[in-house]
Amino acid sequence: MKKIVISTGGGDAPGLNAVIYAVTKSAYQRGWEIYGSKSGYRGLLDPDELIRLTPEKVEDIMPLGGTILGSTNKGNPFAMPVENLAGEIQTLDLSDRIMRNFRRLGFFCHIAVGGDGSLEIAHRFATEKGMPVIGVPKTIDNDLEATQRTFGFDTAVSTATEALDKLHSTAKSHDRVMVVEVMGRDSGWIALNAGISGGADVILIPEIPFDIDVVCRKINDNELRDKNYAIVVVAEGAKAQGMKKAVCKKSSELGRDSELLGGIGEWVAEHIRKLTGKDTRSLTLGHLQRGGSPTTFDRLLALRFGGAAVRMAELELFDHMVALKTPDMAAIPLAEAVKGRKKVEVNSDKLLTAREIGICFGDSN
């Protein structure tokens, strides 16, 4: 009997459980045995951390946020920092141990669900260690070039839009400027989509460095149109013109593979307060955007990714990632898939529409 293992790595995203559901059900139909590795590769390091997945076990998980397997963005098995007895940090390469377990347990394929970091690790396992890997892309940021969409994004945008809808009434009641920081790393997809749909006055995205004076002018201009409040959406990776790098939080998390963005919302709010004299509040939506039940769109996409991954396993299309190429699914070599980041096109129809309905991007256009 063929045995496969599935893992979920990186930040969680609504829809992960739908992938697990689809992989389990379609692999089971083929007579395969399915295992889930807890917290990324932990189950492959320690087989006690493997869960046997059956259709009964996954029956109710499709609408649940998060991942029943757990996830981590601090666990690169090729360079795992561990504290020794003397309290010193050592970096260990655990990849051979993982490969030994993978072979000993008789797996013929690993379905790795993750963002760019996890997919890069999966690609290294395929090329350097010979692991038969299939990647499934996930991220609420929607910033992977190789696929038209990632699941989790639609849910995150819906959550952010709902939050913006709610902020209008309180901003209006108090004549306030509300600055809302949203996630998205170095891409402005969440800010752009939620900002347009949530009626923002200003949207600041990493793709368009902004001038704070232009932002303040737009806020002041609102008054000429008898609008005494304003909603400003700021992507966490947005930068003012002249800023060398995005605003980050200090993080002492051991083994974290990327910087923790955050703080630009408060920076923008402070400057608006100073330059316009208006009552201004900032809030960060943060991990709210990663939680909750996946939207229908995300569920369907996640299910389709899971189904396609199992079809690719059957065809032994390893070292590839499943990608959405509307209306179908495509298999993209992982080497290619991990390369490009998808940025907001500054001349896209979406952006033009936003400008035409009066949204300011903090530039002089």
Task: Give the binding site for ligand F6P (CB under 6 A).
Answer: 11, 73, 115, 139-141, 183-185, 236, 260-261, 290
Question: Is residue 141 annotated as part of the catalytic site, yes or no?
Answer: yes
Q: Which is closer to ligand F6P, CB of 40 or CB of 307?
A: 40
Give the shortest CB-279-to-ligand F6P separation in angstroms. Answer: 28
* Nearer to ligand F6P (CB atom), residue 22 or residue 235: 235
User: Could you please report the per-residue DSSP string of 272-305?
Assistant: HHHHH---EEEEE-GGGGG-SPPPHHHHHHHHHH
State in angstroms the smallest separation of the CB of 324 from ligand F6P: 18
Which residue is at the shortest CB distance from ligand F6P? 183
Residue type for position 294: P
Q: Catalytic residue, from 141, 154, 298, 319: name it.
A: 141
Based on CB atoms, which residue is closest to ligand F6P, 9 or 307?
9
How many CA within 13 A on the CB side of residue 30? 19
Distance (Å, rounded) from C-alpha 275 to C-alpha 283?
A: 19
Cβ at position 11, least distance to ligand F6P in Å: 4
The structure tokens 């806020």 sit at 219
Comparing CB distances to ligand F6P, the nearer of 261 and 309 is: 261
Q: How big is the chain, counted in residues?
A: 365
Closest CA to 14 of 324, 293, 341: 293
Q: What is 142-206 written as a DSSP string?
A: --BTTSS--BTHHHHHHHHHHHHHHHHHHHHHTT-EEEEEE--TT--HHHHHHHHHTT-SEEE-T
Instruction: Give the nearer residue to ligand F6P in terms of CB position, either 13 or 171.
Output: 13
Q: How far apart are CA 79 and CA 62, in angstroms?
A: 33
Report the nearest approach of ligand F6P to the CB of residue 238 (Å).
12
Please give the C-alpha separations between residue 13 and each of 9, 39, 307, 317, in angstroms, as whole numbers. Answer: 10, 14, 18, 25
- Known catalytic residues are 141
